[in-house]
Structure 1
Amino acid sequence: MKIEYPTPQRCDCVETLHGDQVDDPYRWMEDPDAAETKEYVDLQNKITMPYLENCCVKKKFHEKLVDLFDFPKQGCPFKRGEKFYYNYNSGLQNQYVLYQQDSPESPGEVFLDPNTLSEDGTVSVGCKSFSEDGKIMAYTISVSGSDWKTVKFMKTDTKEQLKDVLEHVKFSCLSWTHDNKGLFYNKYPKAATSDLGTETNSNIHQKLYYHRLGTSQSDDVLVLELPDEPQWMPGCEVSDCGKVLLLSISNGCEPVNKYWVHDLPDQGLPHQFNFTKIADNFEAEYDYIANNGRVFYLKTNLKADRYKLISIDLDNPSQENWKDIIPEKESVLDWIACVRSNLLVACYTEDCVNKLYIHQLESGALVQAVDLPPGSIVGYSGRVQDSFIYFKFMSFINPGVIYSMDLSKGDDNLTAQVFKETPIKGLVSSDYVTKQIFFTSKDGTKVPMFVTHQKDLVLDGTNPTLMYGYGGFNISLSPSYSSSRMIFIKFLGGVFCEVNMRGGGEYGNDWHHAGSLANKQNVFDDFISAGEELIKLKYTSPSKLAIEGGSNGGLLVAACANQRPDLFGAVICHVGVLDMYRFQKFTIGHAWMTEFGNPEKEDEWKWVKSYSPLHNIPDTGTYPATLLLTGDHDDRVVPLHSLKFIATLQHKLGASNPNPLLIRVDTKSGHGAGKPTAKRLIETADCYAFIAAQLGAEWHQ
């Protein structure tokens, strides 16, 4: 069926970029609130939504997804003050509900239910931070998926909402002083629009403030501003002992930060803040773990690409006096937490699966390894004052098991006990198999991927296959459960593949840097090689292979579709970074220059010029069926990326291409966080219906 695409106005916008003439005919789409942009969005949705609705498996997939997604989902219990809390969703609730209980074994009662904040579930609760005595909870609220947050406060005994409200908050810390009288947080200058989430102006001049309960936000104490460095972001936390303020200054998304400290009085704030600069450069990352008096323990990648634990004496902080407590290992130290004052819980990534170990704090000596099957730790609770921990395990075919460990009885033979399992009706894990496959990329690098499918799958090259990747920002992909992927596998005879490409953090900073900046092409080569390997092993064939990614992963799939359109049958691109010439000009895009480079510098522009999805769409040939997805309130990767890309794609290839080239723009929706369950399920069914239609996947009951 031939699709009549919109024909938006092409303006005469041309600029010279490092000597090149660059056409930008859809520059006007950068204004999301303009009438012309909104009209264009409506025209696209009027094509896309009926197309998706008419895909033959749409209704069946959505019905089955609603059925199989309807199972209880619970987070790890955590203690604050004298009470325990946990996040819980009964199955299809739009937002998780926070419950309060006297103990992890006692019945819980609703403490904060975000589902009551809006009829359609588009108001969500994000970060929660409790005062040291546990009597006050600060929490953030977001509307329509925006990164902008409002901070509110409530009493934990009566659930009374306090009058305090903090606005203009984004990418913020929330850290209480131990006198329970207030907290540190981050604020940006007041935005120019009342509809927060649709603006595109750059987020700069973030400042650090202290808010004292019972006072107006206008009276908050300015702790730190950096007027000469508008893109720097200062966050902080108060040490476990409450005596030291730990300041971390970041500049972009590279895992490096400046690290400053300041002693705090027992009550109130210092008369002025004169920080001691423990590390005053952007050479490494420092993350506070615990302290024993003036000896502080930090996780760092200083001369350790896979991270290590060090100690620093604040009374003698020169770097030559720093000590290694847990040295760097072959596997990557993902995170580490102190519990029972003297034990460390360390989570490592070993060949893309998580391993858990218990160490002594002061010596770093290994106490024991925690026995777990291959998978991921997706939740953890346990603090320095606790004598217990909870952690949640998940895999591609296991929706989640919460384990508990009692650490109060000594260090001998610590065992993890099952606290709560998550059964799924109709799912028999033994019917499926996950394999880890190592393949060789274009330059000879060995790269892993996970492949999940039914145990009796026939390898004849005809299986519909979905390949997913991210490959950036030092973010590691690890096994996780997905109801929609299991439906794809079980009812559409599908194969799901997750690729652990360079650019991620699976093997440390070296692995990350091998896929960033001048090396970004390695990420695309890895993903393309993974597809070729699946075809070689007869899992699938090009017409049966779909690729999916979001944000940086959206950049990935769009770039790969441009470079190898012959290799893929369908492309699902969520909220992609697609205009690599101008990404740094909008909202928080400037922070990504540490990953992609700065297009305003000629040498670095040449990196992005070679792969920028918007600027490398082929002029001729057959392009794989493509579905772009974005949200009108995405103020992380603003919608202009997707709008300009689809307009260019349809202009160049729409008339001749036999495959659909579509975009789905959701309203009251952002980058993904906080999206209500109902919206997620409809969007997911649309994506898989599109995939099934393009790959010729038939429904098998």
Structure 2
Amino acid sequence: MSDSLPSPRRRALAAAGLASLLGPLPRTAMSQAASAPATPPPAAPVPDDPFRWLEDVQGDKSLAWVRERNAASQAVLGTRPEFEPIRRELLEVLNAKDRIPAVTRRGAWLYNLWQDEQHKRGLWRRTTLAEYRKPQPAWETVLDLDALGAAEKENWVWGGAVALAPEYRRCLVALSRGGADATVVREFDTVTKRFVDGGFTLPEAKSEVDWIDADTVYVATDFGAGSLTDSGYPRVIKRWKRGTPLSDAQTVFEGQASDVSVSVGIDDTPGHERTQFYRATDFYNRKTFLLPHGAEPKAMQPLDVPDDAVVGFMRDTLLLELRSDWTVGGTRHPAGSLLAADAAAYLKGERRFQVLFTPTPTRSLSGRIQTRDHLVLNLIDNVASTLAMWHKTPQGFVSVPIEAPTPGSLGLASLHDPRVPKDPLANHYLLTYTDFLTPDTLYLGDTTAAPQAPRERLKQRQPLFDATGMRAEQRFARSKDGTRVPYFVVWPKGAQADGRTPTLLYGYGGFKISLKPWYSGGFGRAWLSRGGALVIANIRGGGEFGPAWHQAAVKANKQRSYDDFIAVAEDLVAAKVTSPRHLGIMGGSNGGLLVGATMVQRPDLFNAVVCQVPLLDMRRYNVLLAGASWMAEYGNPDLPAEWAWISGYSPYQNVKPGVKYPKVLFTTSTRDDRVHPGHARKMAARMLAQGHEVLYYENIEGGHGGAADNEQRAYLQSLEYAYLWQQLGPAGRGG
């Protein structure tokens, strides 16, 4: 269940309604040299690191160490009595036939990637909405990933597809070896169900591609020396014509080596066609440029908007979601606001806005979708989802009521395709609802319907565990500086506040990612149903209360995330929800840094630590894989002034011999090319050398998600749960 560090590509394309998990390549000597300032500041000294050899991801010595540690951990955890029953139950959950297939609309089709016990890597398949409405839809297989991998003797994992509208016949399919972010791109025909002979192809890299027309694409990839940023992302975007070598592609946009990334978003709404290019100068700031439809690259113009605003268009309307306060035309708009302006007038210099959302201390904007005539906002109010809706008229936006299930989490996806003439789904959308004890339900909504009109229920999952007698509640802890920090407790059946309940505390606290209630068959079967309590901490650094909640815990103030997490743990103990003897913590990626730092600072509070695909060596994180792209979150450890506060919490530099730490479990993946597996490797090696008890498991494939298929996911998670029951159950170590 580990959260992933988001890629700057996903952040940069949010305004265009696109999503990708593409990440960076390791930085090159050329790109580092190109980004160096004329007079570099004095660097913070780098201490000797006897375990740096473990950063050699595929080195024989490193992999021998990994296999030795894997075997030791498997011998301890794989033989526990909980392991095999939990593995079977988790695999049953992951392969369950009543899972709601997540779909993407492409013209007349709804596409889905489906994995189960027969199709471990997945079927890319499609059906119609009429079929999808049925309890058992008829699916048409478009591409069988398992069969393809067997035929080509490759370990292919699905990496996504970009389709050419409005026919959606031609697709640029991304295939990953073993689940890495780097992909091979190949053109595919969804009618013949074959890869196109002589079609567009790219070798393995962290690439971005998008269609301009049937014979032309934008491509950003590793073009050779100097073409990547310091973060390892493409620095150059080119226009590539069919039938010509990639070396002949025309450069249309360039960023600087010191940027995080460049990206492109195409809006091909008829009558409002435009292309946006972005230079992400750091993870939260970007320069936006507009290229009018059909114009040459020299006609590209910068868009005068705040660098940290999220920019979008709805036909003739410019939408700005603010990440910091902005005073314009004598009016101050607070961070978290959503503004609308006439796009043509704005480009001519007019600064008149209609305010569509203003945040409050408890209410923030989590996301939005557009149908043809409406804008639907997904809001968070005290960590529960609500909706708001605006009707777009020639005179502006008019607020209209909309109702939705509450108080859990809502998900929205528009079905409108502006390229489909007389689109029958122009004002339709998909809505999901779930909470900790309620399985997911999927509805089909219509923004033109009356607020009280019931939505069509398309799918509903059957319960994956018996929640009878369980309950969920929201509580608040008081952090070190007095801030109220919300958290949820999901109680197992029959549990009492007697300090003896095995309790798992989960957190993330970074990159403005919100942890809202969700339904988990894995937690339900492997933890709650066996008598464990689950706690979700909504600490600063996340996005639960908007930009200010996130910005309160970045860079010099990152320690606040850890203070908040510690405060929640202390509150759990004070309220006798649990005790240190029975309290464990879990987090992945940035959450792995969270639990690593918290373990080092307060080892007395916990008896178990599950540290998944983590950052841990914050002295070198910025030179390992995607690390440089996250300096806007953590700071630059090469600058002495910034290393001064990073060094205060960096787990790798702060773990010490002679301290009684809980036995920790580190998990990572050899194929994680976003967060370097060296973080977990080195931390485990250092702790072992200091005489601490450590368990370690590294999946040889699986990417930043830690696993490439359901069997691997079930196996990895079963090791984690077996460890948690070993540490927190009745037979665990005393604290």
Query: TM-score by structure 1 length?
Result: 0.88
For residues 352-501 of structure 1, the aligned pairs below 5 Å read 352-362=383-393, 363-378=396-411, 380-383=413-416, 385=418, 386-407=426-447, 413-424=452-463, 427-501=465-539
For residues 221-300 of structure 1, the aligned pairs below 5 Å read 221-227=250-256, 229=258, 231-241=260-270, 243-254=273-284, 256-265=285-294, 270-279=295-304, 282=307, 284-292=308-316, 295-300=317-322
Kept after mapping to 1: 8 A contact 2:435/2:517? yes
Distance 1:108 1:25 in 2: 54
Pick the aligned partner of 1:182 from 204, 216, 232: 216
For 2:353, the equivalent position in structure 1 comes to: 323
1:667 matched to 2:700: yes
Instruction: Please give the secondary structure, in 1, of the residue aligned with 2:397.
Output: coil
For 1:301, the equivalent position in structure 2 comes to: 323
User: Using a 3 Å threshold, how does the CA distance of structure 1 residues 592 and 453 change in structure 2: closer, same or farther?
Assistant: same
For 2:126, the equivalent position in structure 1 comes to: 100
Instruction: Please give the secondary structure, in 1, of the residue aligned with 2:366.
Output: strand
How far is 1:86 from its partner? 3.5
Q: Which amino acid aligns with 2:520?
A: S
Q: Which amino acid aligns with 2:455?
A: A
Pick the aligned partner of 1:641 from 650, 658, 679: 679
For 2:365, the equivalent position in structure 1 comes to: 333
Pick the aligned partner of 1:45 from 49, 64, 70: 70
For 2:620, the equivalent position in structure 1 comes to: 582
1:26 matched to 2:51: yes
1:150 matched to 2:191: no
Instruction: Please give the secondary structure, in 1, of the residue aligned with 2:303.
Output: strand
Instruction: Please give the secondary structure, in 2, of the residue aligned with 1:512.
Output: helix
Distance 2:347 2:124 in 1: 41
For residues 543-622 of structure 1, the aligned pairs below 5 Å read 543-622=581-660
For 1:13, the equivalent position in structure 2 comes to: none
User: Using a 3 Å threshold, how does the CA distance of structure 1 residues 612 and 50 change in structure 2: closer, same or farther?
Assistant: same
User: Using a 3 Å threshold, how does the CA distance of structure 1 residues 533 and 168 change in structure 2: closer, same or farther?
Assistant: farther
User: Using a 3 Å threshold, how does the CA distance of structure 1 residues 507 and 317 change in structure 2: closer, same or farther?
Assistant: same
How far is 1:264 from its partner? 1.8
Pick the aligned partner of 2:202 from 167, 183, 201: 167
Once the two structures are superposed, residues 514-560 of structure 1 have per-residue CA deviations (whole angstroms, 9 ceiling, x without a partner) of 11101111000111111111111211110101100011100000100
- Give the number of equivalent residue pairs: 661
How far is 1:431 from its partner? 3.6
Instruction: Please give the secondary structure, in 2, of the residue aligned with 1:365.
Output: strand
Q: Which amino acid aligns with 1:290?
A: M
Distance 2:118 2:563 in 1: 39
Distance 2:117 2:309 in 1: 38
Kept after mapping to 2: 8 A contact 1:461/1:535? yes
User: Using a 3 Å threshold, how does the CA distance of structure 1 residues 594 and 227 change in structure 2: closer, same or farther?
Assistant: closer
Kept after mapping to 1: 8 A contact 2:95/2:116? yes
Distance 2:230 2:633 in 1: 20
Structure with higher RCO (Cα < 8 A, 6+ apart)? 2
Instruction: Please give the secondary structure, in 2, of the residue aligned with 1:653.
Output: coil
Query: TM-score by structure 2 length?
Result: 0.84
Kept after mapping to 2: 8 A contact 1:168/1:190? no
Return 106-115 or 580-589, whichever deviates more.
Answer: 106-115
How far is 1:322 from its partner? 4.3
User: Using a 3 Å threshold, how does the CA distance of structure 1 residues 368 and 414 change in structure 2: closer, same or farther?
Assistant: farther
User: Using a 3 Å threshold, how does the CA distance of structure 1 residues 692 and 500 change in structure 2: closer, same or farther?
Assistant: same
Distance 1:218 1:183 in 2: 14
How far is 1:75 from its partner? 3.4
Instruction: Please give the secondary structure, in 2, of the residue aligned with 1:507.
Output: coil
Once the two structures are superposed, residues 634-683 of structure 1 have per-residue CA deviations (whole angstroms, 9 ceiling, x without a partner) of 111111111111111111133xxxxx312111112321177211100000
User: Using a 3 Å threshold, how does the CA distance of structure 1 residues 183 and 400 change in structure 2: closer, same or farther?
Assistant: farther
Unpaired stretches in structure 2, ≥5 consecutive residues: 1-40, 133-137, 326-333, 419-425
User: Using a 3 Å threshold, how does the CA distance of structure 1 residues 81 and 597 change in structure 2: closer, same or farther?
Assistant: same
Aligned sequence identity (%): 26
How far is 1:50 from its partner? 1.0
User: Using a 3 Å threshold, how does the CA distance of structure 1 residues 672 and 468 change in structure 2: closer, same or farther?
Assistant: same
Return 136-145 or 585-594, whichever deviates more.
Answer: 136-145
Once the two structures are superposed, residues 218-271 of structure 1 have per-residue CA deviations (whole angstroms, 9 ceiling, x without a partner) of 4433221224545442333334236211122213322x3211101122xxxx44
Kept after mapping to 1: 8 A contact 2:156/2:177? yes
How far is 1:123 from its partner? 2.2
Pick the aligned partner of 2:85 from 60, 67, 88: 60
How far is 1:490 from its partner? 4.0
For 1:12, the equivalent position in structure 2 comes to: none
Kept after mapping to 2: 8 A contact 1:74/1:88? no
Q: Which amino acid aligns with 2:157?
A: S
For 1:695, the equivalent position in structure 2 comes to: 728
How far is 1:215 from its partner? 4.5
Distance 1:422 1:492 in 2: 22
Instruction: Please give the secondary structure, in 2, of the residue aligned with 1:105.
Output: helix
Distance 1:92 1:442 in 2: 51
Unpaired stretches in structure 1, ≥5 consecutive residues: 1-15, 193-199, 655-659
Kept after mapping to 2: 8 A contact 1:259/1:286? no
What do you get for the CA RMSD once the two structures are aligned? 2.9
How far is 1:81 from its partner? 2.4
Once the two structures are superposed, residues 362-405 of structure 1 have per-residue CA deviations (whole angstroms, 9 ceiling, x without a partner) of 43322122221222234523235323111222222233111001
Distance 2:717 2:161 in 1: 28
Distance 1:335 1:173 in 2: 23
User: Using a 3 Å threshold, how does the CA distance of structure 1 residues 156 and 210 change in structure 2: closer, same or farther?
Assistant: same
